[in-house]
Amino acid sequence: MNKLLNGKSRLPFVLILTCFLFSGGSIFAGKGPKIKFREESKDFGKMKQGKVLTHIFVFKNEGDETLVIKRVKTSCGCTAALLSKKEIAPGAEGEIKLTYNTKGYEGKNTKYIDVESNDPAQPRKRLTVSAEIEIPPRPRIFLDRYAIDLGLVLENEEIQAKTKVKNRGELELRVNCTHKRASFYSGGEKITFPLKIAAGKEAEVEIRIPPSKRKGVIREYVVIKSNDPLKPNLSLYFSGYIATKSQLKELFAKYKDILE
């Protein structure tokens, strides 16, 4: 041994010892808590929309001190994660039960679950769940706009606004519009609800609100209900300013030079 520590043999010995210390040698393995998941992702494959999916992520404490799960956070309100226990002894296992509600989603979707613990090497682990969500044929409502600026409206005049309702789905769309004072027209004819729109077609809806004694800023909205299961209720907002004739005269007098 003394010979190894003397002369030219000392440097190689020091290098060997240093390499051993920083290589994660067995005498240092397992120090502290260590989280290890059996799997870190789950792909459910093709699933029907509306189905509630569940999966259990199992993990183990491979360290030699108690593992503490500080926080489990999901990336979306459609997913919920239930932790079996916060503290896991060395060699013991824990579970995170995930529930994923696919209602309202379509196509490829991926959700994330972040697990925070006192593992010094991996204080945060990310789990993923994914699914190809299929939807059955349905009507799909779409408005060409959801807010309308009426601009300046003269007092005692009827308020008029238009929007196009489109059916981007595969089945017939049935639409009902409601407002406490409005009447609804399409193609110049008063609509008898429900308004029926074939797949791939559209209809222009004209909203007419009778004059009122209101002056100044006006804000109104129409509730549009349909048989689209994902968008059964929509709102069409419109705003403007109701001016009196004297106000219009003042504006014209003020800006007539610019207008001319």
Domain formed by 29-134, architecture = Sandwich (2.60)
d(C-alpha 33, C-alpha 90), whole Å: 7
Its sign, for the CA torsion 241, 246, 248, 250, is negative
Residue with the two structure tokens 């009196």: 244
Of the pLDDT bands very low, low, confident and very high (cuts 50, 70, 90), residue 260 is low
Burial code of 153-180, b = ≥16 C-beta within 10 A, e = fewer? bebeeebebebebbbebeeebbbebebe
Could you tell me what percentage of the chain is helix, strand and coil, using 3-state DSSP and rounding each to the nearest 5? 15, 50, 35
Of the pLDDT bands very low, low, confident and very high (cuts 50, 70, 90), residue 53 is very high
Domain ranges of the chain: 29-134, 141-259
Q: What mean pLDDT is predicted for residues 163-187?
A: 95
Is there a common fold for 29-134 and 141-259? yes
CATH of region 141-259, choose from 2.60.40.10, 3.40.50.300, 3.50.50.60, 2.40.50.140 = 2.60.40.10
Q: What is the pLDDT of residues 218-246, one digit of tens each?
A: 888 999 999 998 899 999 998 999 888 88
What type of residue sits at position 186? S
Where is pLDDT greater, at 217 or 10? 217
Of the pLDDT bands very low, low, confident and very high (cuts 50, 70, 90), residue 30 is low
Q: What is the pTM of this model?
A: 0.57
d(C-alpha 247, C-alpha 213), whole Å: 15
Q: What is the pLDDT of residues 90-140, one digit of tens each?
A: 999 999 999 999 988 889 999 999 999 999 999 999 999 999 999 889 999
Does pLDDT of 22 surpass 50?
no
Task: State the pLDDT at residue 250.
Answer: 81
Pick from 56, 52, 59: nearest CA to 38: 59
